[in-house]
Amino acid sequence: MYLRRILLAAPMALAAPSASAAEGAPDPLATDPDLALWTLGVFVLMLAILTKVAWKPIMEGLRAREEGIQGNLRAAEEKHEEAKALLAKHQAELAATADKVRGLLEEARRDADATLAEAKKDAKHEFELERERAMRDIDHAKDAAIRTLAERTAGLAIDLAGKVVKQDITAERQSEIVREALGRFGNSEPSAN
């Protein structure tokens, strides 16, 4: 029944503004109670439909999005903590490696010092051996030179003595005299020169 009345009143309501427009300016504060009720009813009906159909899914979507964002924030925080832990681990490994390198360098320096000291010791030993060999060679050369000089000197002395004595000394007698002179010469002390 109300619907019928509204339907009958609707053409009149539409015609009323035209009539009042002809009479003068429309009243902006004038309200039609039936139209207001129908507008309110349609609004409530649309609100109920939108709440059921659209509002709940929108709210659920927003809630799910918020939970997703919260989950992403937690995951990002966990990843951040993992990255910090990994960075600390790498820094510790880097420090350990640096310590190891310093240790290896120090060990290499000690090895180099030890090798240098050993090389110096070996060189000094080689020098001493070479010096001793050179001294032996010098002593042998000196002995050989002294022997040769003694033989020549003895030979010249015998020749001179033979000329002075005018006697001919045989080669056999000459060798015997040289051996005797060498024996006396070998037993004499060397000079301190």
Tally of CB atoms within 10 A around 138: 10
Query: Which pLDDT band holds residue 78 (cuts at 50, 70, 90)?
Result: very high
User: What gap in Å lies between CA 87 and CA 85, rounded to an integer?
Assistant: 5
Q: Each residue of 60-87: b (16+ CB within 10 Å) or e?
A: eeeeeeeeeeeeeeeeeeeeeeeeeeee
Q: 145-175 burial, b for 16+ CB within 10 Å, e for fewer?
A: eeeeebeeebeeebeeeeeeeeeeeeeeeee
What digits encode the pLDDT tens for the residues 43-63? 999 988 888 888 878 888 999
Could you tell me which residue, 159 or 10, shows the higher pLDDT?
Answer: 159
**Where along the chain do its domains lie?**
52-187
Max mean pLDDT among 11-25, 119-133, 165-179 falls in 119-133
Are the C-beta atoms of residues 154 and 182 closer than 8 Å to each other? Answer: yes
Helices 56-165 and 171-187, packing angle to 10 deg: 130
Alpha carbons 82 and 89: distance in angstroms, whole number: 10
